[in-house]
């Protein structure tokens, strides 16, 4: 019995000494988890809605060409402290003091920098709109023409484009010949997606025409075309994978905010388009009509991505649309 009590006593002493030792040790400091930086959040539609767009002075820098009915200029403005150039067409009567003209902001689709020139993708249609009495403004976008460089991050370079247009829209008031009460949007292909982004972010009612618009959600609207790239899109895939690991893509996508489009729309789609499937455009138009939005929709049997077979008809329908919505 005495031996048992002795062993129990030793155990109590051992435990007590252990507790005393650990109480004397400093409490370990556990650093809180450091959140990953998410700088691209500022391009989410909610963040874009929360910021201000003040615009800048539109400058007509030099003459590109003179026609009997209009003059084409290289113009420039500033977006977030960066210079953007583009082509501006002013109707011949724009020189009359006090005379003002409605404005069409024209957004081109994808362009290869190796062959790009100011006016690529918009020049021909812009000429017809100018002949019909409209000022046209077709920005080159950052990284193109005489503009400052775009972001080195290929995702950010894409996301910053709606900001460029929102700043341009605010800049129109500095152009003396512009009727700021009559401003329209025209977008082709990816330019159509940018136009839709602008309408959703601004919740604006700017009448808009769309040629074969890219309406797929982000990043699917990019993934659909990576097979066209020289490296089979490996670099783009890597960038998108990194983006999806840190961001909710829906916050940057036209699909999530489609109900916020209230502007009158006119949509043109060729059924032979190999880049934008007619089914995609059909789905978009159906959504617009379900929401009760004014949407004129024209399909052109067998026509291509540039609507080349029916080009004259498409342009004429757009001029009619713009004139119908003049205030």
Classify residue 5: in a domain, yes or no. no
Helix 123-131 crosses helix 311-324 at what angle (to 10 degrees)? 50
Question: Per residue in 116-171, pLDDT tens?
Answer: 999 999 999 999 999 999 999 999 999 999 999 999 999 999 999 999 999 999 99
Q: How far apart are CA 46 and CA 123, in angstroms?
A: 33
Place of tokens 């002949």: 131
Is the pLDDT confidence value at 8 over 70? no
Question: Is 32 inside any structural domain?
Answer: no
With residue 46 as reference, give the H or E element that holds it: helix 45-50
Mean pLDDT, the chain, rounded, equals: 90
Q: Is 171 exposed, middle or buried (0-12, 13-18, 19+ CB in 10 A)?
A: buried
Report the number of distinct structural domains present in the chain. 1
Tell whether 16 is covered by a domain: no
pLDDT at 13: 41
Looking at residue 180, its pLDDT comes to: 97
Domain contains 208 = yes
Cα torsion for 275, 280, 281, 284, to the nearest 10°?
Answer: -150
- Which range of residues forms the domain containing residue 72? 39-324
pLDDT > 70: percent of the chain: 87
Angle at 217 between CA 54 and CA 158, to 5 degrees: 45
In a domain, 11, yes or no: no
What pTM did the predictor assign? Answer: 0.88
31/49 Cα distance (integer angstroms): 35
- Over residues 238-264, the mean pLDDT reads 95
Query: Does residue 148 fall inside a structural domain?
Result: yes
CATH number, domain at 145? 3.40.50.1820
């Amino acid at each position: 019995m005495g031996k048992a009590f002795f062993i129990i006593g030793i155990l109590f002493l051992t435990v007590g000494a252990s507790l005393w030792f650990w109480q004397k040790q400093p409490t370990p400091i556990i650093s809180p988890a450091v959140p990953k930086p998410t700088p691209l959040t500022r391009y989410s539609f909610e963040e874009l809605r929360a910021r201000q767009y003040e615009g800048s002075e539109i400058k007509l820098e030099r003459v590109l060409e003179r026609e009997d009915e209009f003059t084409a200029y290289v113009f420039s403005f500033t977006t977030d402290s960066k210079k953007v150039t583009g082509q501006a067409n002013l109707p011949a009567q724009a020189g009359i003091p006090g005379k003002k003209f409605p404005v069409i902001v024209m957004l081109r689709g994808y362009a290869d920098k190796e062959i790009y020139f100011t006016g690529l993708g918009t020049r021909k249609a812009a000429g017809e709109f100018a002949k019909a009495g409209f000022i046209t403004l077709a920005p080159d976008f950052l990284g193109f023409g005489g503009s400052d460089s775009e972001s080195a991050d290929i995702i950010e370079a894409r996301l910053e484009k709606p900001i460029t247009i929102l700043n341009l829209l605010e800049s129109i008031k500095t152009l003396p010949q512009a009727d700021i009460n009559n401003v329209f949007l025209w977008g082709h292909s990816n330019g159509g997606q940018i136009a839709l982004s602008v309408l959703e972010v601004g919740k604006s009612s700017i009448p808009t025409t769309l040629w074969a618009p890219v309406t797929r959600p982000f990043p699917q609207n990019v993934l659909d075309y990576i097979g066209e790239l020289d490296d089979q899109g490996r670099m783009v895939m890597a960038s998108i994978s990194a983006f999806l690991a840190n961001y909710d893509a829906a916050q940057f996508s036209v699909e999530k905010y489609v109900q916020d489009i209230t502007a009158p729309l006119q949509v043109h789609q060729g059924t032979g388009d190999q880049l934008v499937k007619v089914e995609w455009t059909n789905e978009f138009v159906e959504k617009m009509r379900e929401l009760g939005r004014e949407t004129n929709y024209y399909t052109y049997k067998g026509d291509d991505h540039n609507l080349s077979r029916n080009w004259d008809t498409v342009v004429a329908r757009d001029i009619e649309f713009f004139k119908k919505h003049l205030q």
